[in-house]
Amino acid sequence: MPVAAQVLRHASDHPHRLAVCGPAGELSYAELARRIRDTAAHLTAPGGTASGLAGPGLARGALVAISVADPVDQLIAALATDLAGGTPLLCDPTWDERVRAAIPADRHLDSLPPAGANDVLSPAEAGRWPSAEAGGRSSAEVGAGPSVETGMLVPHAAKWPQPEDGDRAWACFSSGSTGRPRAVVRTRASWTASFPWVSELAGIGPGDVVLVPGPLGSSLYGFAAVHALAVGATALVPGRWSPGALGEQLGRATVAHLVPHCLPAVLEALEEGAPLRTVVIGGAALPTGLRERAADAGVRVVSYYGATELSFVAADVDGAGLRPFPGVEVQVRTLPGQTLGEVWARSPWLAEGYLAGAAGPLRVDGDGWMSVGDVAEPYLPGEVLRLRGRGDGAIQTGGATVVPEDVEEVLRSVRGVGDVVVVGSPHPDLGAVVTAIVEVGAGIPPSRAALEAVARGGLAAAQRPRRWYAVDSLPRTSAGKPARGLLSARLAGGDPDLWRLT
């Protein structure tokens, strides 16, 4: 079923429950449902309107690129697209026009229609919509038909397209892909059918307040926010990581979704008596000792391993190690003579692939197995999965996965850059930081300011290099490709032929 339908059902059963809290304010489930319906109506309208949102209707499965800035509005737009039968794709609203134009979308949504009242449905009409807490029975069938006083906001089910599990229903960008927009698309079932398992493993339910302290364009944070609304919880969505705001946020949150490098700040800001009981960690490996430190503060840690393309692969719910997520089969395929192998997964949660034929690390075999090149020690069913990193040169930085080639393509457009190689430099908190090494030859090196200006316009925050170096000539392999491993070693060794750009 559409996630939007679940939200509307919560609005029917608990209209005054707080649904979402963002930088601009709060919405109850009733208010959120009204905004979802308003926006869905504009998306499906047959003609133009003053808001500029309506067009010739929305084809089933049409990809809608959402670039609104406010995180609550992003959720409204995504759920409205879902309700209308489209496929929402949350984008970074700071991307420039060049990046936006490369997104393979059928529609672009940059703003929402003004909030407006909808007609209140009669109890008879409202009763046709199934109750979220009645096992699928309608409100009328369980004797709990809503009254007009509650402001019933649920439309007749026949008004919107009837969902199918195989519909393309959700899309998100693979982390670090915005230099060359690479959107991952998945079916409705691969997205929503995992919700009950996440709820069970993390213990998230309708009474929770779930802190999602990052950009919703990230698949990790976007999933967390939508899951919270699907189960009827309250989603706190500040839209960005802000350590200074943690005190207030942790005064309300019972659950938080984080990347590992954010957990120490959360634990430091946690005051005695705060309601936080669980943190869900994804995006990178959990550093040694953090789980124990959280336990000392009375906080349970549930960590997981996955990828945008693979969704959930394995979870560690008790500190005993990563084991396959429910419904997932795992293989580590090791070549002869190698001590490590590639992780392959087969499950109901796998994505369909990349939109518009974009290239990426995802590979598929003929038996339904997928891999993105992650590396692990040899594994047998029933054992703990021991990950050892990425096998494709990707950089893990603060929970995001940055593909070096995406960054390099953007930076090569800068005047004075002959070629460029992007590698990861070790960092004590982020795991690694993106480092660019620019080949300048005999010419005048570009200024760091010029490089950073282009990076800001064409790259997401996680992709932008933190360290910049220049070299007369890049070392290359016999095939003429830049020798990344050699460059990383020279950088770590303080090679004087690589000089810092300031």
Pick 341 or 181 by higher pLDDT.
341
> Quick one: pLDDT band at residue 413, thresholds 50, 70, 90?
confident
> What is the predicted pLDDT for the residue at 336?
78
> What is the predicted pLDDT for the residue at 479?
42
CA distances in angstroms from 334 to 341, 369, 379, 382, listed in the order given: 4, 15, 9, 18
> What is the predicted pLDDT for the residue at 361?
83
Tell me the β-bridge partners of 1. none
> What is the predicted pLDDT for the residue at 155?
41
Q: Say if residue 368's pLDDT is above 50.
A: yes
Do 234 and 204 form a contact (C-beta atoms < 8 A)? Answer: no
Do 10 and 19 form a contact (C-beta atoms < 8 A)? Answer: yes
Percent of the chain scored above 70 by pLDDT? 86
Q: How far apart are CA 265 and CA 250, in angstroms?
A: 11
Q: How far apart are CA 443 and CA 322, in angstroms?
A: 51
Q: How far apart are CA 450 and CA 339, in angstroms?
A: 44
Mean pLDDT of 464-492: 80
Q: Say if residue 283's pLDDT is above 70.
A: yes
Q: Say if residue 92's pLDDT is above 90.
A: no
Neighbours of 478 (CB within 10 A): 6
> Quick one: pLDDT band at residue 357, thresholds 50, 70, 90?
confident
Q: Say if residue 141's pLDDT is above 60.
A: no
> What is the predicted pLDDT for the residue at 390?
64
Residue 89 in tokens: 């794709």
> Quick one: pLDDT band at residue 100, thresholds 50, 70, 90?
confident
Could you tell me the residue ranges of all domains in the chain? 402-500
Do 331 and 176 form a contact (C-beta atoms < 8 A)? Answer: no
- Pairing relation of β-strands 278-281 and 183-187? unpaired
Q: What is the pTM of this model?
A: 0.76
Across all residues in the chain, what is the average pLDDT? 83
- What topology is assigned to 402-500 in CATH? GMP Synthetase; Chain A, domain 3 (3.30.300)
> What is the predicted pLDDT for the residue at 389?
67
Do 60 and 10 form a contact (C-beta atoms < 8 A)? Answer: no
Q: Say if residue 79's pLDDT is above 50.
A: yes
Instruction: Give SS3 for 211.
Output: strand
> Quick one: pLDDT band at residue 51, thresholds 50, 70, 90?
very low
- Pairing relation of β-strands 363-364 and 370-371? antiparallel
> What is the predicted pLDDT for the residue at 97?
82
Mean pLDDT of 441-448: 83
> What is the predicted pLDDT for the residue at 484?
76
CA distances in angstroms from 82 to 4, 201, 414, listed in the order given: 6, 26, 39
Percent of the chain scored above 90 by pLDDT? 50
> What is the predicted pLDDT for the residue at 233?
98
Torsion of the alpha carbons at 152, 156, 160 and 164, rounded to the nearest 10: 100
Which residues touch 108 (CB under 8 Å, ≥6 apart)? 64, 65, 67, 100
Burial 181-202 (b: 16+ CB within 10 A, else e): bbbbbbbbbbbbebbebbbebb
Do 420 and 435 form a contact (C-beta atoms < 8 A)? Answer: no
Least confident interval from 42-56, 257-271, 277-291, 388-402:
42-56
